[in-house]
Structure 1
Amino acid sequence: MPGFTIAAYVGAAVAEIAGCFAFWAWLRLGKSPLWLVPGVLSLCLFAWLLTLAETDQAGRAYAAYGGIYILSALGWLWAAEGVRPDRWDVIGVGLCLVGAAVILWGPRTA
Structure 2
Amino acid sequence: MTIVKSILIFLLAGICEIGGGYLVWLWLKEDKPFWYGILGAVILTFYGAVATWQTNSFGRVYAAYGGIFIALSLLWAWKFDGFKPDRYDIIGALIALIGVCIIFYAPRSIQQ
Q: Same fold (TM over 0.5)?
A: yes
Kindly provide the amino acid, as one letter, of the partner of residue 77 in structure 2: L
Kindly provide the CA deviation profile for residues 18-61 of structure 1, in whole angstroms up to 9, marking residues without a partner as x. 11012111211112222122111111221111111231x11110
The aligned residue for residue 63 of structure 1 is 63
Q: CA deviation at 1:76?
A: 1.0
How large is the Cα RMSD of the aligned pairs?
Answer: 1.2
The aligned residue for residue 96 of structure 2 is 96
CA distance in 2, matches of 1:71, 1:17: 11
Q: CA deviation at 1:83?
A: 2.2
How does the TM-score come out when normalised to structure 2? 0.90
CA distance in 2, matches of 1:35, 1:58: 30
Q: CA deviation at 1:106?
A: 2.2
Q: CA deviation at 1:107?
A: 3.1
Structure 1: 5+ residue stretches without partners: none
Equivalent residues in 2 for 1:1-110, closer than 5 Å: 1-55=2-56, 57-109=57-109, 110=111
CA distance in 2, matches of 1:72, 1:59: 20
Deviates more, 1:1-10 or 1:36-45: 36-45
CA distance in 2, matches of 1:50, 1:40: 16
Kindly provide the CA deviation profile for residues 72-102 of structure 1, in whole angstroms up to 9, marking residues without a partner as x. 1011121012222111011000100011111
Aligned length: 109
- Structure 1's consecutive aligned runs of 4 or more residues displaced over 3 angstroms after TM superposition are none
How does the TM-score come out when normalised to structure 1? 0.91
Structure 2: 5+ residue stretches without partners: none
